[in-house]
Structure 1
Amino acid sequence: MPGHLTALHWALQEMETLKDDDVEVETYATGLNFRDVMGAINIVEASENGFGHEGAGIVRRAGSDVKDLKAGDHVMFIGNCALGTQLVVSENLCEKIPDGLSFEDAATMPCVFATSIYSIFDIGNLKKGQSILIHSACGGVGLATIQLAQMVDAEIYATVSNEEKAKYLMDTFGVPRNRIFNSRNTSFAEDVMQETNGEGVDLALNSLSGELLHVTWRCIAVFGKMVEICKRDLIGSGKLDMSPFMANRNYCCVDLDQICLRKPTINIVHLLRERHIHPIRPIKVFNSDVILDAFRYMQEGVHLGKIVVSMRDSTGQRLTYFDNFDAYLLVGGLGGLGRSISTWIVEHGARHLIYLSRSVGADKKHQEFAQELTSMGCRTDFVQGSVSNLDDVTKAVPQAQGRLKGILQMSMVLCDQTFTSMTIKEWNTVVHPKVKGTWNLHNTSVSANADLDFFVLFGSLSGVCGQPGQTNYASANTFLDAFSQYRLSLGLPACAIQIDAVEEVGCLAEHESIMQKLNAAGALPGTVLECELLEAIEVTTASTLSKSRLTASNNFCLGLRSSLPLSDPGNRSLWKKGTRMTAFHNSGETSTTSGSASSDDLETFVTAAKGDVALLGQPNSAHFLAVEIGKKVLSLLLKLEEGLQMSCSLFDVGMGSLVVIEL
């Protein structure tokens, strides 16, 4: 939901077509900018393609008209959807990274320097001896602008939000303290006029909004310019006092998106080589698995320098990487879940996938999907047959040519019926693919001396919780748990995942009748996101299951929870009365987490106040609401509730304007 940072999640996205002058870049690091946060909380419209506008990585493919770049080149770039593992971008928006510059350092530079160069030189025409006011001078654009302004010997005036940032400008760039002002209120205007003997500045780079924008406009000298890089007032159709224009003052707007679209170019490396500029410092790096923390940290508006998201570790590897010389067998794998998992495996390096299924290749969609994988550099082999038939399995395994390194057993057949009415055919139809099929995969791979890295068995929570009419299916999934432990006892890798309904893809998402049954049983269908499933696959295929770390059981459930508290009379979950749930019932009666208790108390209060407005006037109501607001503020600031001090103002707690908007 736009406006809530907690709605951020990773998602698979189709790659753009590689045009003649485009390159495909594998992203290693991405610079985070305020407009990413403002898009996430719905202040400005977010890009349809995702977040991130600058980064650094390695060129993997180049279009036919690309002249200066080739596969393997390390580049920094400006481009939409930079906060992803790969992107397609024009060659004109890339520059080779000089030797000795890390991906993280390179990712701090493209957007901020491109914005600053165009703003203060192309538009502002800043020259030696002229004065410039730089707002938010310790942000990425601000620090880039200070470097460029010093390069041409301009007189620098700056605003910052606290004393720590003022000290940083003094120590790092030698900006005099009397030229550093407060960006949080209008006091900087009087200070600027005093320091410039009432004349104002020749150029102001404005990133403030509302009243602070108008105050900045009054700081412009005769024949001066104000360059606007903040979209907030522009989008909000803000008004500007016309009288300053009478003294030949100019007001201009710079939108980097439009510049990249109509004048696509990036040219900063020559300044870097000549030591006129350097990467933004300091930088704070977040790993991609804690992306929400990165957005929260920027939202607070207290950071110095640049925030960078690292998409890979220091060796350039993600958590899981499949060898491009090996082969991987997928039983099933051409349904919604299978296609998603297949694409993920190929994106992580696999170049040979073997599919075993009764209907493989019979559907036009199968051929189209094979072509898609081929375009990604992956070979696909289709073997038509049943995993329950040993002969069919023995036809599939040799397709790997002795290089079989992983098996994903995703077979699934449903034939629901009450147990008393179930025929032996209905039983075997469901059980055999998982039971006989798994035995066949095990025996054939062992006979072929396959040195497997993983053997993943896909089950269902039906095997853990039970489901009316699915005794056969529950039994088959229970077998997978036991068989995984059996393989582990032999020193062979194995893992069984019992999965709840997956949102948007897969059998349950495609068949509304099954989802309705889950709803009726009090389950919460669609609780597992596609990205969460892929994270689970990453765990099962990574070092957790390596032969050096085999454990008693690697099995786990994914998505087990209820839409209602277990104590709620309306909760009809079949498993809520099970012995294994006793601990949850007890914890609910004796103690609850502060977050859930707080939420329940607030909901109860609001409901009561709707029926009796006088409740709001009671002496303890204001205190209660203040505490609840304080707890929410601390959660937005990633702070513990224990640190709540009711005597503090919101500003003292550290809440900036962007956090206020989300609150």
Structure 2
Amino acid sequence: AGLLERISAEVPLSAVVHAAGVLDDGVLDGLSVERFEGVLRAKAEGAWHLHELTRGLDLSAFVLFSSFSATVGGAGQGNYAAANAYLDALAEVRRAEGLPATSIAWGPWAESGMAADSALVSGRMERFGLPPMDPALAVTALERAISGSDTCPVITDVDWSRFGKELSGSRNSALFGEIAEVQELYRTVDHASTDGPAEPTSALAETLAALPVAEREPMLLDVIRKHTATVLGYGTPTGIDAERGFFEMGLDSLTAVELRNRLNTASGLRLPSTTLFDYASPAALARHLLAELAPDASAPENALPEEIDRLESVLSALPEDDMARVRAVVRLQSMLAKLSHAGAGTAVQGASGGDALDGDLDGVSVDELFDVIDRELGDA
């Protein structure tokens, strides 16, 4: 209000450009009320005050600097996206009241601005397919936007080959579906299922399956180290220690989500957001991904389901009163009892004297076996 009062009546205020902004990025569960307040104050409160204080003036333009993140969302920018979405809504309110308003959803600028001032932010945005715009070109676009009829235009440079990968879960979206580059991207991934959990049928899984078992984990480790280096801004993965913790190397909650997303794309899996916390080093994560993508079929734990199926098939083919089937049932019951009471030494007891029947059953009569089944298994 004080600033507006100091404007000379001889050269009255003719336009407002609200370009304030504060960044305080972080994943949503790490954003406090204070972190939201700091970002919203500069954007939302400042814009609202300008709106109220200039509502009665004859302005030719009321320009709000919004963000591409308010239009499409942005990883780790829940507070910033919300603040800029407020600007878009304010512009719509002003237009509805017959007042001038344009809220421009900007992508990153080169040379100056919040993205240019932070190598971490600019690097992350460029990896997502949002390279910095030439300032002269951006100003030309600004002039056209103000003179145009759109209330909330978007002005950004997009590398769809990279940015489109982030859209793999939103095929045929109303927002991007008519863009030629996006349509081409969708055509290349039409073979992938869009319903239910993604199956690990990626090229990476196929490559691993074709390798000898001993070479699979080292290959996965190389993939993880490469993506970790990219997220951290390293030129090569040589500095990524396989046994060192991700967060010791410099990842934070936001870059951890970015790395998770990159690994999802590479693997065809849908890893939870806590993956890098649960498997906190490249080596630990490689072992986990290996079990998901290319489990060793010869390992006992992986062969077990098939063996159980085979046993069920054999026993089902035998007549119900077949002695071999009866003995097998008793043995299986004894085994289940032991597994259910680990360490207790539980075993199915015989009818005549309490001897365990999980050993040699050759000397047990049919009547004794059926008596055990009646007592231990009932109708089962």
Structure index of larger Rg: 2
Task: From the two aligned structures, give the one with the greater helix fraction.
Answer: 2
- Which TM-score tier does this pair reach, normalised by the shorter chain? 0.3 to 0.5
Q: Greater strand percent: which structure? A: 1
TM-score normalized by the length of structure 2: 0.44
- What TM-score, normalized by structure 1, do the two folds share? 0.26
